[in-house]
Amino acid sequence: MERKRSASFLYQPMFGRRAAHSRGYSLTVSLIAVCTAAFVLDVMFSISDYLAFTPAYVFIEPWTLVTAVFMHAGIEHLFFNMFALYMFGSYLEARVSRAQFLYLLFAAGVLGNVAYWLTDPLGTIPAVGASGAIYGVMGMLAVLYPTLTVYVGYMPMPMVFAAVLWFLLEFTGMFVPSSIAHQAHLAGLVLGVAYGLYVKRQRSRPVYIWER
């Protein structure tokens, strides 16, 4: 390490700064493209037979914990998930690092499937969809940007209030028979909040940039 000159340091708080990564291609749009392509392939070749997550087969087909995140049950399912991913994902992607964004999406998506397995380990109904990952994005936004205005139905509210409302709806939904894996949504949301708290804490720590 070269130390030919005396050094000084500059204090820079991280909070409030936007992520310093390249604004090249959009990860959000890329993920939407992958999910859309997977849907088209599923319509043509029924690939979800091998890529959808079924709790009873988790140890036989462990890769489905990941691949199921990119699959969708129908055009309506795909449209609303991709719309939510674009609206929330684009906003968050521009404000965190690419690594943080990808980690959140994959971790929340996989954890959602794990939550489904834990609550129904012998279940034979396949699960597909990026909802767990999207709820992770919403949970992280609720922590990092709690006053961000979002619309739930036609009602505007702060992001943090919306997250609480979504939590309550998903929690109560677990006790009502339906074709929705509410536990997967909850797991993604909780992970998003937890990861958001971690990132927020990291941002609040001082960073010292040494200058020669």
What is the 3-class SS of the chain, one letter each residue?
A: CCCCCCCEEEEEECCCCCCCCCCCCCHHHHHHHHHHHHHHHHHHHCCHHHHCECHHHCCCCCCHHHHHHHCCCCHHHHHHHHHHHHHHHHHHHCCCCHHHHHHHHHHHHHHHHHHHHHHCCCCCCCECCCHHHHHHHHHHHHHHCCCCEEEECCEEEEHHHHHHHHHHHHHHHCCCCCCCCHHHHHHHHHHHHHHHHHHHHHHHCEEEEEEC
Q: What is the pLDDT of residues 67-104, one digit of tens each?
A: 999 999 999 999 999 999 999 999 999 999 999 999 99
Return the number of other C-beta atoms located less than 10 Å from residue 38's C-beta. Answer: 20
Domain assignments of the chain as residue spans, ordered by start: 25-203
Judge whether residue 1 has pLDDT over 90.
no
The residue-averaged pLDDT of 6-11 equals 33
CB contact at 8 A, 135 and 188 = yes
Summary mean pLDDT of the chain? 87
Give the Cα separation of 55 and 126 in Å (integer). 8
pLDDT at 12: 33
* Residues 72, 36 contacting (CB under 8 angstroms): no
- Give the up-direction half-sphere exposure of residue 209: CA atoms within 13 A in the CB hemisphere: 5
Asked if residue 15 has pLDDT above 60, the reply is no
Residues 126, 121: Cα–Cα separation, whole Å:
12
Span 43-76, pLDDT tens digits: 999 999 999 999 999 999 999 999 999 999 999 9
- Judge: domain 25-203, CATH 3.90.550.10: no
The mean pLDDT value for 168-193 works out to 92
Q: In this model, does residue 18 exceed pLDDT 70? A: no
Query: Would you place residue 153 in the very low, low, confident or very high pLDDT band (cuts 50, 70, 90)?
Result: confident
pLDDT band at 11, cuts 50/70/90? very low
Average pLDDT value for residue range 120-132: 94
Q: Give the pLDDT of residue 59.
A: 96
Least confident of 13-27, 122-136, 162-176: 13-27
User: Cα–chain-centroid distance for residue 211?
Assistant: 37
Whole-number percent of the chain with pLDDT over 90: 76
Q: CA separation (Å) from 93 to 25, 60, 100, 140?
A: 11, 34, 9, 11
